[in-house]
Amino acid sequence: MNRHIFHGIVAGALFTIPITLIAAMDALAEGDALTIIPCALFGLAAGLCIGALIAANFAMLEVEEKEYATARHSIEAHGHA
């Protein structure tokens, strides 16, 4: 797996876990057992959205680095001709 995609998934998971736990803890503090599941699912959905945005940002960084390396290689090849 590519380094940037792996870092994006890890960073996304680090955001997903606390958001889900905070949403579940809020429902647990109220004492209503029926609201724990929807709050946890809402927190999980919100965390996954943020995590996906972070992973996409890392993937875009990878694409930009590849384009830069290709352009640099092309310029160096033309410079030595």
The pLDDT value recorded for residue 80 is 58
Among 8, 24, 19, CA closest to 60:
8
Q: State the DSSP code for 34.
A: G
The reported pTM is 0.60
pLDDT band for position 78 (50/70/90)?
Answer: low
The residue type at 19: I
Domain range list for the chain: 3-79
Residues 12-71 have pLDDT tens digits of 788 878 887 887 887 788 777 788 888 888 888 887 788 788 878 888 887 887 777 776
Q: Please report the pLDDT score of residue 64 as a whole number.
A: 83
